[in-house]
A and B are shown apart, each in its own frame.
Chain A
Amino acid sequence: MTEVRPITVAILAMGGEGGGVLADWLVHAGEHADYVAQTTSVPGVAQRTGATIYYLELFPREAARRAGKAPVLALMPVPGDTDLVIASELMEAGRAIQRGLVTPGRTTLVASTHRVYSMQEKTALADGRVDAEALLQGCRLAARRFIGFDMIALAEKNHSVISAVLLGAIAGANALPFARADFEDAIRASDVSVETSLAAFAESFAAAQGTSVESRPSARQQRESAALAALRARVRELPGEDARAIVLAGLDRAWDYQDAAYAEDYFQRLTPFIGLAGNDSGELLAEVARQLALGMTYEDTIRVAELKIRGSRFERVRREVRVRPDQILKIAEFMHPRIEEIADTLPAALGRWLMRPHWVNALVRRLTARGRVVTTTSLPGFLQLYAVASLKRWRRGTLRFHNETTFLDTWLATVLEAAHVDAGLALRVAGLRNVVKGYGETHERGLAKYATILAAMRENGWRRHSGAEIDRLIEAANADESGAALDTAIATLTPEPVRAAS
């Protein structure tokens, strides 16, 4: 009986990512290197973006010739018996580990460390992303050898596809007993986008020979602005590094949103939280500062118009959609200002009047029933938004400003009230503001959820509640759009012993 065994290779990819192309390349490279190659897959409906596995076996042709027999090759991987596992994405690498395909004694794992988020992660109302660091750690632990870096970035840089980068990493890491030329020959033979594929292959080859895990881009930088110097100086005396950074960012944001006076206003509203007893770390200050900055820079029509037509934004879009200098870019915005947003932008009294039921209200409602597409790269479109953005100087008089100010003042007072009970509780109450976000109905639903949670808290008295309980309510608020989960969560709050007795 021969001792020669086939090399076993599993490719985990998502439909449409070119896992089949990669498998074909490996077959070609194997045949070029005088191996018998067999591959199979179960594409079926999985080709429509679902997770799918391709499986290959490679057997030295020389051994088959000596034996005068063809090898019997398997059509699916056996856990613990896979030499090379290739994953096109980090969660798929994790899936390979979970399925037992990656083992410390045997398996070389070649994986891209970028994330393609699952539907569950994408549809979360807040942040539903899984722990990528844990996945990476799992890869390092489970594999005999782990070659991982952000391969999609490398592919995009070379205007190529991830399969070419994966192939380069396999070759560069010497994960298969083939020469570089064997792999390159496979790319050439496929006769599609050969040049870009070879470029991506070459760069990935080098990366796999040099690095293990590529570091991710580091934290963002804060830009200085001379005009805020005075306020900044005061901020630098605040406790806690986090708090300082956030207050500074908040100042910038308020200034950018309105003017210097607004930034001062921001700082003023924060002062009750500076030096508050039991808050030496500045944790509460940081959270209040963060939430207040976001609350004060709510997205009204003026803000949206301004953000849409800024030069820096046009530049960003050019970068993002990769417009070359010899091409022309047109940007069309999808906006749907309703009567509510119009009233919000009017002087408070006029806005309130508009929202009352009368013929003007009905007319405006009818006129705003449909969304608008505004081309901001055309003069008429640009000027429309320019005019709206120019209303900024009158913002302080608008209905929305009035409403937001009242809301934030009440919220700040509530946080302060909670702070006198317990610092941890106050931190959660501060974070509660985040339940309110979005535009239109989303915003209204958020407001309702915010009010519901606060009312439940007050009804039983602050002291009866723990921070963990609020966390649970916030989580429930973020669980669905309708608020059903929140209602259930509130119903199961600690029962009131006083009432139960009566």
Chain B
Amino acid sequence: MAERSFKKEVESLRLKAGDEFRGEAILAVTKALLQSGVNYVAGYQGAPISHLIDVLSDASDILDELGIRFEMSANEATAAATLAASVNYPLRGAVTFKTPVGANVASDALANLSSAGVTGGALIIVGEDYGEGSSIMQERTHPFAMKSQIWLLDPRPNLPSIVAAVEKGFELSEASNTPVMLELRIRACHVYGSFTVKDNRRPSFSLREAVDAPRRDVGRIALPPATYAQERHKIEQRWPAAIRFIEDNKLNEFFAGDIADIGLIVQGGLYNTVLRALQLRGLADAFGESRVPIYCLNVTYPLIDSEVVRFCADKKAVLIVEEGQPEFIEQAINTILRRANVAARCEGKGMLPMAGEYTGAVMVEGLSKFLAVHRPDLAPAPAAAAVNDNLAKAVALVAPNIHGRPPSFCTGCPERPIFAAMKLVERELGTHHVSCDIGCHLFSILPPFNIGSTTMGYGLGGAGAAALNVKDGKRAIAVIGDGGFWHNGLVSSIGNSVFNKSDNVHIIIDNGYAAATGGQDVLSSNADNPSRSTRHPIERAVRGLGVDWVRTINRTYDLARMRDALKEALTTRVRGPKVIVARSECMLNRQRREKPLFAKSVREGRRMVRDRFGVDHDTCTGDHSCIRLSGCPSLTVAPNPDPLRREPVTKVIDSCVGCGLCGEVAHAAVLCPSFYRASIVHNPSRWERFRDRLRGAVIAFLQQRLEPASAAGARHD
């Protein structure tokens, strides 16, 4: 199950017409799907659209009532292929994933789908993971829409606009027989706001009707000669139909302004940032009243030539605000204007940066440049935040004292000991090439582990090491998570290794969830999930592919076993891929599950034991080896209480969950005797308490013999 429960959010899916929905935009999208009479939803989780999938996973009652099929797809290609149901039947379907990575995986299915064209509305909801907080390479989804002729919606980032985009998206898809993409940026997905809801709608044509009376049309299958006809159909029929629909329904918005000789052409998703920049320049107010005319592209592909021409006709210059690269929209508008002989100067990437997120600061600067060139008469920026000596001094003071703080393994994470073991093996056998995958385990590339050289995509850890096979040479190590393994690593990494007689070592990290995306279940999850089939062991799958050398370690915290298995895999004479399945439950999810249960048991008076670790500062020498082999957030440093020592000592803070790795590290690396495990017994029995008192008395007597009261001076406590 997902790492948090979405019961409360699920309730908001039941709101009735006229009620006010309050919540995150991605949940508003979920509600909008139900209002649109969707037949089926599929997707692959990933920030920033995970919540859509998580909420639907918890909403099986509502889905059943409405007759909606919901699939947690194996990967994005599966999700996109699911839309095939809308090719021949008037079924409305929606799929979701993060992009552009998801679109990369899905593009085969997307291309087939868009070539065939659709009968029922097909909506692809993509979370554009770009800019600050992104976890992937910086690219755009835009060209996927262009290359396959999929229409691309980019609505203004407020809930009513986003909800309308979902509803209109289905209609546009049906009107033009074309799949439609709805692009939402990270912040837009997470924005909290409100909108007035409509009732949920049962689909007018059901899935049952479709399967009971199957239809086929060879013209809708992507195989020559139909493909040639399909391409012509796209251009001759579907495109004009889309243009008509977009114009008639006014999907793009025009905001008039009194400074009529210039204008801004803005991607819908950037509208709020543009408006704030105008506001800071005194050219707009908080309600969106702008003195500079704005043409807001809620549909960024296709562009509507007539609208562009109309907006630009009487202007001397327009600024195109288009995030990311290449600048497809700017190029297209230039073409449109030249073809129509409109003289307006088309500014864009010359004023705004080619690469990087369009933050508030970037937007203010770009707008100022544009105004300086084309309307220098408009007052320069008000002296906001005048240069201030104190500020400069403050920045100079803090700058050298700030370190990057990238994400890392959580407290008690079971993946940490795997990399600690790799560090230990490195000491004995030297360094090996390590190919990484996508998932929490990729944090190994950062300090303190500094392990891993490349990552080639989800499930491709093993594939990334494929070339690095040398007979009797050092073996390359490939790391992959259970998420990546089931996404496609099973075939792309492990199957490929078997087939090509690779000698490499594969570490499959099985923490029971697709943890990095929010803790969703996968095939090998241990959870008892009523709506999915789980508990399919990875070892069985791997053996089924033909791997003979497999070791499953059921407790990754057993550092010595982990280290020994790795050493064996790197040195054994057995040929073929060596696979280590390292299993321990994701600590974040485990704590979410167990912590409340523990507290409840304690309240009920049951005997419960909580472990946590600690460090004795008087035997800690401040060398911090333990931290370099662990990196646990609850393992930190503290000022040395010893007046003679200066280096900070290691300290375990109360967030410790008692996973035991620091003790294991101290043992396996022979570090120091400073670590202790404190077991706190809640609600001990009377007998236990009696024995403890007795034992305590004996120990106290001996302790007094050991340190006669007067003997020692200072106690370094």
On whether A130 and B698 interact (CB within 8 A), knowing A72-B288, A135-B398, the answer reads: no
Contact present for A317 and B394 (CB under 8 Å): no
Q: Which of B111-119, B242-250, B539-547, B640-648 contacts A (4 or more CB under 8 A)?
A: B640-648
Cα distance A377–B717 in the bound complex, in angstroms: 19
From A38, A44, A63, contact of B191 by CB (8 A):
A38
| Supplied contacts A45-B407, A49-B407, A138-B394, 14 more A-B pairs, CB within 8 Å | A42-B133, A43-B133, A69-B287, A72-B286, A78-B360, A123-B628, A138-B398, A142-B394, A252-B714, A253-B716, A308-B619, A317-B678, A328-B688, A338-B670
Chain A residues within 8 Å of B310, by CB: none
A451-484 CB contacts (< 8 Å) to partner B: 481
Measured CA separation A256–B684 after assembly (Å): 36
Binding-face segment, B144-152, B205-213, B439-447 = B439-447
- Which one, A50, A59, A71, contacts B407 given CB within 8 A? A50
Chain B residues, Cβ within 8 Å of A79? 360-361, 385
The 8 A CB mask of B377-405 against A (1 = contact, 0 = none) is 00000001110101101110111111111
> Chain A: interface residue count, which band?
35 or more
A6 in contact with B286 (CB, 8 Å):
yes
Candidates B190, B284, B360, B440; contact of A42 at CB < 8 Å: B190
B678 engages A91 (CB within 8 Å) = no
Which single member of B289, B621, B714 contacts A222 (CB below 8 Å)?
B714
Interface residues of A in 315-350 (CB under 8 A from B): 316-317, 320-323, 326-336, 338
Chain B interface residues (CB < 8 Å from chain A):
47-48, 129, 131-135, 157-158, 186-188, 190-193, 271-273, 275-277, 279-280, 284-289, 359-361, 364, 384-386, 388, 390-391, 393-395, 397-410, 440, 443, 446-448, 516, 560, 612, 614, 616, 618-619, 621-625, 627-628, 631, 633, 635-637, 641, 643-648, 654, 663, 666-673, 675-684, 688-689, 692, 695, 698-700, 702-704, 706-707, 710-717
B160 to chain A minimum Cβ distance, whole angstroms, is 8
Residues of A within 8 Å of B406, CB to CB, are 50-51
Docked complex Cα distance between A161 and B664 (Å) = 30
B385 touches A105 (CB 8 A): yes
Please name the 7 residue pairs, one residue from A and one from B, whose CB atoms are nearest each other, closest first. A42-B133, A371-B667, A78-B360, A80-B385, A50-B407, A252-B713, A142-B394
Are B689 and A328 touching (Cβ within 8 A)? yes
**Which chain A residues border B679 with CB–CB below 8 Å?**
329-332
The answer to whether B192 touches A142, judged by C-beta atoms less than 8 angstroms apart, is: no
A-B contact pairs, 13 of them (CB 8 A): A2-B286, A40-B187, A74-B360, A79-B360, A98-B399, A104-B388, A127-B647, A131-B401, A137-B394, A253-B644, A309-B702, A329-B680, A334-B676
Task: Please measure, in the bound complex, the distance between the C-alpha atom of A250 and the C-alpha atom of B713, giving whole angstroms.
Answer: 10
- CB-defined contacts of B448 to chain A, threshold 8 Å: 119, 122-123
Q: A437 to B621, Cβ gap below 8 A?
A: yes
| Nearest chain A residue, comparing its CB with the CB of B47 | A44
> What is the chain A residue whose CB lies nearest that of B696?
A377
> A94 to B401, Cβ gap below 8 A?
yes
| Cβ–Cβ contact B399 & A39, under 8 A | no
B672 and A317 form a contact (CB under 8 A): no
**Nearest residue in B to A127 (C-beta to C-beta)?**
B647
B443 touches A141 (CB 8 A): no
Within 8 Å CB of A273, what residues of B?
A: none
Most chain B beta-carbon neighbours within 10 Å: one of A45, A64, A97, A373: A45
CB-based contact B614/A74 at 8 Å: no
Tell whether, in the assembled complex, residue B712 and residue A249 are in contact, meaning their CB atoms are under 8 Å apart. no
* Complex contacts, A46 vs chain B, CB 8 Å: 133, 407
In whole Å, how far is B111's beta carbon from the nearest beta carbon of chain A? 28
**Interface of chain A residues 9 through 38 with chain B (CB within 8 A):** 14-16, 27, 37-38
In the complex, A310 Cα to B622 Cα: how many Å? Answer: 21
For B364, list chain A residues within 8 Å (CB).
78
Closest partner residue, chain A, to B188 (CB atom): A75
CA distance A53 to B668 in the complex (A): 39
Contact B670 A336 (CB under 8 A): yes
Q: Are B410 and A16 in contact (CB under 8 A)?
A: yes
Residues of A with C-beta under 8 A to B678: 317, 320-321, 323, 329-331
Q: Is A379 an interface residue (CB 8 A)?
A: yes
Chain A residues within an 8 Å CB radius of B408: 48-50, 119
If A91-B403, A246-B643 touch, whether A256 touches B715 (CB-CB below 8 Å) is: yes
Q: Given A37-B192, A225-B712, A371-B670: A73 and B627 within 8 A (CB)? A: no
- Interchain CB contact under 8 A, B135 and A45: yes
Alpha-carbon separation in the docked complex, A255 to B678 (Å): 30
Q: Is the CB of A50 within 8 A of B405?
A: yes
- Does A77 sit within 8 A of B, measured CB to CB? yes
Assess whether A121 is in contact with B637, with CB atoms less than 8 Å apart: yes
Instruction: Tell me how far the C-beta of B515 lies from the nearest C-beta in chain A, rounded to whole angstroms.
Output: 9
Tell me the smallest distance from the CB of A492 to a CB of chain B, in Å.
24
- Please judge, given known A-B contacts A123-B627, A137-B397, A437-B622, whether A51 and B405 are in contact too, CB under 8 Å: yes
B423 → chain A, closest Cβ, in Å? Answer: 11
* Cross-chain contact A141 with B390 (CB below 8 angstroms): yes
Flag if A304 contacts B614 (CB, 8 Å).
no
Contact call B286/A122, Cβ cutoff below 8 A: no
A129 to B648, CA, bound (A): 8
Does A4 lie at the interface of the complex (its beta carbon under 8 Å from any beta carbon of B)? yes
Given the complex of chains A and B, what is the CA–CA distance between A124 and B648 in angstroms? 10
A256-B713, A329-B678 given as contacts; is B622 within 8 A of A126 (CB)?
A: yes
Is B676's CB under 8 angstroms from A327's CB? no
| Chain A residue contacts of B133, Cβ below 8 A | 41-44, 46, 52
Contact partner, B386, options A71, A105, A223, Cβ 8 Å: A105
With an 8 A cutoff between CB atoms, is A156 at the interface?
A: yes
- Indicate if the CB atoms of A45 and B390 lie closer than 8 Å: no
CB-nearest residue of chain A relative to B3? A47
B-contacting 9-mer, from A199-207, A413-421, A438-446: A438-446
Quick one: closest A residue to B675, CB to CB?
A334
User: Nearest chain-B residue to A245 (Cβ)?
Assistant: B643
Note all chain A residues with C-beta closer than 8 A to B698: 379
Which residue of the partner chain B has the closest CB to A20? B190
Known: A37-B192, A334-B666. A127 touches B692 (CB 8 A): no
State whether B188 touches A332 (Cβ < 8 A): no
Known: A52-B133, A134-B397. A312 touches B715 (CB 8 A): yes
Return chain B residues, CB-CB under 8 Å to A246: 643-644
Point out which of B391, B676, B703 has the most chain A C-beta atoms below 10 A from its C-beta. B676
Q: Which residues of B have CB within 8 Å of A411?
A: none
Whether B385 pairs with A106 at a CB distance below 8 angstroms is yes
Question: Which residues of the other chain, A, contact B625 by a CB distance below 8 angstroms?
Answer: 438, 442, 481
User: If A73-B272, A316-B717, A321-B612 touch, does A331 touch B677 (CB 8 Å cutoff)?
Assistant: yes
CB pair A49 B633 closer than 8 Å: yes
User: Cβ of A97 and Cβ of B702 under 8 Å apart?
Assistant: no
Identify the interface centre among A73, A78, A383: most chain B CB within 10 Å of its CB.
A78
Question: A70 an interface residue at 8 Å Cβ cutoff?
Answer: yes
**Assuming A44-B134, A91-B402, A329-B678, is B621 touching A438 (CB within 8 A)?**
yes
Residues of B near A314 (CB, < 8 A) are: 699, 703
Q: Which of B403, B668, B669, B689 contacts A130 (CB 8 A)?
A: B403
Q: Which of A109-142 contact B (CB under 8 A)?
A: 116-127, 129-132, 134-135, 137-142
| Chain B residues, CB < 8 A from A439 | 621, 670-673
Bound CA span A227–B637, Å: 35
* Complex Cα–Cα for A317 and B677 (A): 10
Residue of B nearest to A378 (CB): B695
Q: Which of A38, A49, A52 has the most CB of B within 10 A?
A: A49
How far in angstroms is the closest Cβ of chain B from A76? 6
The answer for the CA separation of A73 and B271 in the assembled complex, in Å, is 10
Other-chain residue from A53, A312, A329 in contact with B717 (beta carbon distance below 8 A) = A312
Of A48, A52, A330, A389, which contacts B440 at CB under 8 A?
A: A48
In the complex, what residue of chain B is closest to A220 when comparing beta carbons?
A: B643
Known contacts A41-B190, A69-B287, A137-B397; is-contact A104 B391 (Cβ 8 Å): yes
